[in-house]
Structure 1
Amino acid sequence: MSRIKVAVLFGGVSSEYEVSLQSATSVIKNIPADKYEVLPIGITKSGRWLYFPGDYDMIADGSYKTHPDCVGCAILPDRSKKGITKFLADGTTAFVAVDVVFPVLHGKNGEDGTIQGLLELSGIPYVGCDVISSANCMDKVVTKVLLEQAGIATTPFLWFTKYDMDQFEQYKRQVAQKLGYPCFVKPVNAGSSVGVTKVSDESALKDAVLLAFTHDSKVLIEKNITAHEVECAVLGNRELIAGVPGEIVPEADFYDYEAKYISGTSKLLIPAGVPEDTLRQVQDIARRAFSTLGCTGLSRVDFFVGDDFIYLNEINTLPGFTSISMYPKMMDACGIPYPELCDRLIQLGLARAAQ
């Protein structure tokens, strides 16, 4: 029986390019080789697509681009060509059929519905959330509005766009009145804590806002919450599995990009250090949020948990899949090891496409 061909997309035009390389390396190495044939496709920071036939370790350090057998490629929005078109050095093309795509792409152009839109046009099944759920979860403000309509509490917040900067003094007063200091300033459409600043007083607010605007045209300002930072992995299409919730105990002032992917010094507790009934509440809310936003396949749902509150912070539709990432660790804690997780995700993508 022939193996299922899985195109794994990695890299991307995103501030989370390097994270994607680490995640994809882990995913590729854990996809069961007896069942699946992996076709790696790297997307450079400039947006060039490369069919990569080399050693998978070259993905993690970014050297895959230098492999002599790399060739340009594309997935076309032509349903008669469900696969990869390779552009060969002699000016000819070659076609490789693909059964399913695993887009291991974080942030913009990966989690925001854009790559999902291309795959919908192509008719190729893919892992993870669809176009609208990806877009809704990527935009932190849209996420909060939809969740609040569903009766799910979120972190108190304000937001505005770069076109509102002429009213900055008004927004600054609102921050002081509604949120107070310290507070967090974030780009609305970004992840992995890129462009995020913890602001201790109003004198630092404008610089933090301007930094966030280098990553997105909308900025989110959230109240600082002193609480347990709890995450819950959700897996499934209709029948949902909520993994054992875990907790991040940052070594830094907050769980920033370096703590997530570079230093590895933050403590990861599974299960989270909260009462068992609270863990069950977190799992229930995570499943509700997953369904409310229309997610399928997978998402990681992040919370702030205090003695008398549970605030949903955000939903990540393609969370980190590195060797130190929480999503695979939480699923492993509920009896689904990494290789089985990859298998289930691919099968969920195929099942959704077949419906």
Structure 2
Amino acid sequence: MTTSARDPRTRVAVIGGGASCEHEVSLASAAAVAAALDPERYDVVRLTIDPHGTWFDGGDRPVGLTGAVCLLRRCDVVLPVVHGPHGEDGTLAALCELAGLPYVGSGVGAGALAMDKWATKLVAEAVGVSTAPGVLLTTRDRAAYRWSRPIVVKPVASGSSHGVALVADAADLDAALDAAFALDSRVLVEDVVVGREIDVAILGRPDGSRFVAPALEIVTDGLFDYDDKYGGQADFRIPADLHEPDRKALDDAALAVYDALGCDGVARVDFFVTDDGPVLNEVNTMPGFTEHSQAPKMFAAAGLPYAALLDLLVRDALEAAGGGRGSMTGP
């Protein structure tokens, strides 16, 4: 532990930003997390990664990766709140692992798999969870793809609905593919799924237990895009109005995917609920994390408010490190 007789608080490094299209969303999540951690219990150390990958300390001073690691090693635990590539995809977990630092959230493998929507589909199908019929395109085979019905185009490894488009007409295909390929070298093309958009938030504990929060339904007119997510237009309904068999099927599917990917801490598993059952959309191992984001709202509905959720995540990370993942570091 890095705490001392002068300051017995646990020192928590909160990392935000990141070199991805989710930079601004991550800054908002990190700021909310840092502000909500109890100042009597936690000494928060802020670190930010700018859109070019440069690390800054809490005073907006560039410190570089070496300086950031030095700051991190003076902390008890790391709370990485970086969404999308170069953060949520396991890269920050890998940095913490190599530095021997306890950290909140999923490990390297789970972050990498869940960030890759194609890999997530393969894992889900392997454990019996349905996904939308789809194909994987690269720049080499893009020209061979022929539109034949309404589809959704999305980058394989991106988030916050960046680069996602509903293509209802063949004339719109090229523009949608251009936007997706601008963010990733691989693009997923999926059939449109008709169903209710319902999310499930899961909290995995160090003892192996799993807590599933009440499901959240997103009521929107058409595609749930970036503007809906962050512009305040989305209608979130918690708990989602589900019959008990449908709720159980949804929870079971979410747990199956969470465990198959090897997730830890909080993950949000997003589904379309159809007449034939749940169809997986995607998995977020570091979902939006302001107090008003989907996952925290679901846990709050279960009686675990935002500050208490953060406290639990930090304490669980320290407990997990004592059991072998990461290690406590000296000053």
Q: TM-score, normalised by structure 2?
A: 0.91
Match of 2:327 in 1: none
Say if 2:155 is the partner of 1:149: no
Kindly report structure 1 stretches of 4+ aligned residues shifted beyond 6 Å: none
For residues 293 and 84 of structure 1, what CA distance do their matches in structure 2 show? 28
Say if 2:10 is the partner of 1:10: no
Say if 2:192 is the partner of 1:224: yes
Match of 2:44 in 1: 38
Query: How much has 1:232 moved relative to structure 2?
Result: 0.5
Structure 1 gaps of 5+ residues are 53-68, 87-94
Note if contact 2:214-2:299 (Cα within 8 Å) is conserved in structure 1. yes
Say if 2:74 is the partner of 1:97: yes
Query: How much has 1:75 moved relative to structure 2?
Result: 5.6
Query: How much has 1:157 moved relative to structure 2?
Result: 1.2
Note if contact 2:217-2:238 (Cα within 8 Å) is conserved in structure 1. yes
Note if contact 1:84-1:98 (Cα within 8 Å) is conserved in structure 2. no
Residue type at the aligned position of 1:71: R
Note if contact 2:16-2:49 (Cα within 8 Å) is conserved in structure 1. yes
Greater RCO, 1 or 2 (C-alpha within 8 Å, sep 6+): 2
Using a 3 Å threshold, how does the CA distance of structure 1 residues 323 and 337 change in structure 2: closer, same or farther?
A: closer
Query: How much has 1:201 moved relative to structure 2?
Result: 1.4
Match of 2:57 in 1: 51
Query: How much has 1:42 moved relative to structure 2?
Result: 1.1
For residues 115 and 162 of structure 1, what CA distance do their matches in structure 2 show? 28
Say if 2:229 is the partner of 1:260: yes
Query: How much has 1:84 moved relative to structure 2?
Result: 4.5
Structure 2 gaps of 5+ residues are 324-331
Query: How much has 1:323 moved relative to structure 2?
Result: 3.6
Percent identity, aligned pairs only, is: 40
> Deviation per CA, 1:282-337, whole angstroms, max 9, x where unpaired?
11211111101000111000000023321011100000012431100000111111
Partner SS for 1:8: strand
Match of 1:317 in 2: 285
For residues 266 and 65 of structure 2, what CA distance do their matches in structure 1 show? 23
For residues 279 and 73 of structure 2, what CA distance do their matches in structure 1 show? 46
For residues 204 and 96 of structure 1, what CA distance do their matches in structure 2 show? 50
Note if contact 2:272-2:281 (Cα within 8 Å) is conserved in structure 1. yes
Note if contact 1:246-1:270 (Cα within 8 Å) is conserved in structure 2. yes
Query: How much has 1:96 moved relative to structure 2?
Result: 6.6
Match of 1:64 in 2: none
For residues 220 and 10 of structure 2, what CA distance do their matches in structure 1 show? 40
Residue type at the aligned position of 2:189: I
Match of 1:308 in 2: 276
User: Aligned runs of 1:55-74 on 2, under 5 Å?
Assistant: 69-74=59-64
For residues 348 and 156 of structure 1, what CA distance do their matches in structure 2 show? 37
Match of 1:327 in 2: 295
Query: How much has 1:74 moved relative to structure 2?
Result: 4.8
Q: TM-score, normalised by structure 1?
A: 0.85
For residues 73 and 98 of structure 2, what CA distance do their matches in structure 1 show? 18
Residue type at the aligned position of 1:254: L
Match of 2:96 in 1: 119
Q: How many residues align?
A: 315
Match of 1:246 in 2: 216
Residue type at the aligned position of 1:189: A
Match of 1:62 in 2: none
